[in-house]
């Protein structure tokens, strides 16, 4: 009897455990749906900065290598691209993790410390770090030449860590000073050019873009092997990362990607030589077209010839940064408004450029001095009206004359690459680090010279 009861009890226990085991289902990891939720929202929010590599306003068009890459990604998934510009790079990780944005796009170097804060996408660039120095100083050619030098970088940056490694590896005694103010790297590169600091460190692509616009800078000394550049993502955005990575792996091999690299990072080996003319009987083979367009629009044809020379050296097939095209370098969002397309004949290219200058001259008709009126118009032709308007507002704020070029608006145009100015609340188009002042001066001076020389 006892044996029977024991047998029955054993069956009940076994059956009970078996039933219990069936009822307790193993926990399955929740399938990540972060990208599905983003698609339902219909908006991709990008955290970026106002720089020449990420996001900026050029001739009235929003541009930037990373902006264009992410615009292509957003278009692929029918998403609206929304941009949040941050002025302090320290805020990028916290803004991302607080879900104030979906990803970080700021020429972002991948390193181990940042990986602890957030994830990274598949890299879309690789960049070496270079030393930024003035050409007027004794050049630092090799890493060992850094001995006893003082180098300024942000302490929380990847540059700081690289310098510490170099210091230890090569047993050097250079000093690393923390740049307390948190600004985009290209602003610190500009500090070197201005002589406010002697040395800093930058990614090669940023440094070369600044050096292209500022002949005082040397960026030839390489400090590191290439580092990957990628977008910053939250750790929990697994599906988003998988989707973006898959897209990027195909994208970096595409013709579109190669064209963007060419547009944004093609650095000419040599600049065009200026014409050395004593007496001019013919400025270009298109003189008759310039004369006709100038007569039709009451604009001096030699001024238009000087613009065409500055823009493309009279090349009607030229393609420039951001897809600007034609002899007169129209942006894709501007050219059609003046009847100029990529396949337009030379006569239409010149006519469109002449009409645009006429429109700008009329915009500044309240400026009394003709020379200033022309220079305002030329600066707007090169940089876009918005940046010139910002410079005029700044001139007025700092009790300068917003209708005079020299020592007034010209100075404010130059100051638009200074954060103390471009972060001012009255500035609508952000930083401007281009060559509009140099452009306006060179085009105008050539115009006056050619006027005297032309026979």
Give the residue numbers marked as catalytic: 311
To which H or E segment does residue 356 belong? helix 346-363
8 A C-beta contact, residue 163 and residue 153: yes
* Tokens 């115009």, located at residue: 447
Q: How many residues does the chain have?
A: 455
* DSSP code for 390: H
8 A C-beta contact, residue 311 and residue 378: no
To which H or E segment does residue 365 belong? none
- Give the separation between CA 125 and CA 140, rounded to whole angstroms: 26
- Give the separation between CA 62 and CA 84, rounded to whole angstroms: 13
SS (H, E, C) 316-327: CCCECHHHCECC
């Amino acid at each position: 009897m006892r044996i029977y009861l024991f047998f029955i009890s054993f069956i009940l226990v076994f059956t009970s455990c078996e039933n219990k085991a069936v009822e307790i289902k193993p926990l399955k990891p929740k399938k990540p749906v972060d990208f599905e939720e983003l698609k339902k929202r219909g908006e991709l929010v990008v955290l970026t900065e106002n720089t020449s590599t990420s996001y900026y306003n050029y001739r009235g068009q929003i541009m930037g290598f990373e902006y264009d890459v992410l615009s292509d990604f957003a278009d692929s998934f029918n998403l609206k691209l929304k941009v949040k510009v941050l002025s302090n790079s320290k805020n990028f990780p916290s803004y991302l993790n607080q879900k104030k944005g979906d990803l970080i796009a700021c020429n972002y170097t991948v390193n181990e410390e940042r990986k602890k804060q957030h994830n990274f996408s598949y890299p879309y660039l690789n960049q070496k770090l270079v030393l930024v120095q003035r050409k007027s100083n004794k050049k630092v050619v090799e890493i060992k030449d850094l001995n006893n030098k003082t180098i300024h970088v942000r302490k929380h940056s990847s540059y700081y860590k690289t310098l510490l490694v170099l210091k230890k590896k090569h047993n050097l005694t250079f000093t690393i000073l923390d740049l307390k103010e948190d600004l985009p790297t290209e602003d610190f590169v500009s500090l070197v050019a201005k002589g406010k600091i002697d040395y800093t460190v930058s990614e090669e692509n940023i440094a070369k873009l600044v050096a292209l616009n500022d002949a005082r800078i040397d960026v030839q000394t390489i400090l590191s092997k290439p580092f990957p550049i990628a977008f910053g993502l939250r750790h929990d955005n697994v599906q988003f990362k998988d989707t973006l990575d898959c897209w990027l792996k195909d994208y970096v091999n595409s013709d579109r990607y190669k064209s963007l690299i060419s547009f944004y990072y093609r650095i000419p080996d040599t600049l065009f030589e200026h014409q050395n003319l004593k007496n001019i009987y013919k400025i270009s083979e298109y003189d008759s077209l310039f004369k006709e367009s100038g007569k039709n629009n009451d604009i001096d044809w030699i001024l238009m010839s000087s613009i065409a020379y500055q823009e493309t050296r009279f090349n009607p097939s030229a393609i420039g940064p951001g897809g600007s095209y034609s002899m007169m370098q129209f942006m894709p969002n501007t050219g059609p408004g003046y009847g100029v397309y990529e396949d337009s004949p030379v006569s239409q290219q010149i006519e469109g450029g002449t009409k645009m200058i006429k429109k700008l001259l009329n915009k500044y008709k309240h400026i009394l001095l003709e020379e200033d009126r022309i220079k305002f118009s030329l600066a707007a032709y090169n940089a876009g009206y918005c940046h010139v308007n910002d410079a005029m507002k700044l001139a007025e704020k700092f009790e300068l004359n917003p209708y005079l070029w020299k020592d007034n608006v010209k100075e404010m145009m130059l100051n638009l690459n200074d954060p103390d100015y471009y972060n001012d609340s009255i500035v609508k188009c952000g930083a401007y680090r281009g060559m509009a002042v140099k452009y306006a001066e060179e085009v105008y001076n050539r115009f006056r010279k050619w006027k005297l020389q032309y026979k």
